[in-house]
Amino acid sequence: MPELVFFSGTMDCGKSTLALQIGHNRSARGLQGVIFTRDDRAGEGKLSSRLGLVTEAVEADEGMDVYAHLVDRITRGGRADYVIVDEAQFLAPVQIDQLARIVDDLGLDVFAFGITTDFRTKLFPGSQRLMELADRVETLQVEALCWCGARATHNARTVGGEMVVEGAQVVVGDVNQQTDEVGYEVLCRRHHQRRMTSATARAGVLSPDVLPVTSG
């Protein structure tokens, strides 16, 4: 039976790499898939991993009807044996409904990959809808690690290494940026709650608190 499967995890846990691997395995068996993505770090219409792998994809812009796009492709003689969606957290809930319709009406497997929560630990609307509708939700087993070595469970947005907790839900950036631009870092819950990034932790080591000294 065809399924809508949601592969979820933090940033830096290999979601895009797995998406590319699933596509490779199926293409090696003669199957042809349609890949959708949204706001990939490599640019519009790209699916890329941090290992340097990249492939062409359909940019699922805001307002796109992904079900209608696929039906039009098939009607024009195109082939679609399965669907892959990367950065699925950025899709609107109605677009997630359209993915479910692809499974139910067209009989195709849909593999969606995305981050569950944003930098404020709030669910992305697309991820929430996937958790509500998916036949299966799979947590990726490749564990991203916090700077302290513990399992990373939360995504943090940084500016110049400092964690920020306000701003738009979607701002495109990458992990471990070393500039004053927007970046992201994965943290364990303890350090996310304390807003302690790798940069601020290093600063703490370089400038330790000292006990007051009184003379006499």
Q: Read off the pLDDT of residues 124-158 as tens digits, 9 standing for 90 and up.
A: 999 999 999 999 999 887 778 899 999 888 989 89
Give me the pLDDT at residue 213, please. 46
How many CB atoms neighbour CB 132 within 10 A? 13
Centre a 10 Å sphere on the Cβ of residue 52 and count the other Cβ atoms it contains.
6
Query: Which pLDDT belongs to residue 206?
Result: 47
pLDDT at 137: 96
Query: What's the mean pLDDT when you consider all of the chain?
Result: 85
Selecting among 87, 138, 166, 181, the annotated active-site residue is 87
pLDDT for res 209: 47
Tell me which range, 115-129, 168-182, 197-211, is most confidently predicted by mean pLDDT. Answer: 115-129
Identify whether 87 is a catalytic site residue: yes
- Beta-bridged to residue 113, according to DSSP, are 7
Structure tokens at 116: 């569950």
pLDDT at 173 (0 to 100):
53
Per-residue pLDDT at 216: 46
> What pLDDT, on the 0 to 100 scale, is given for residue 142?
72
Phi, psi of 119 (to 5 degrees): -70, -15
Neighbours of 176 (CB within 10 A): 17
Res 119 pLDDT > 60: yes
Query: Is the pLDDT reported for residue 210 higher than 90?
Result: no
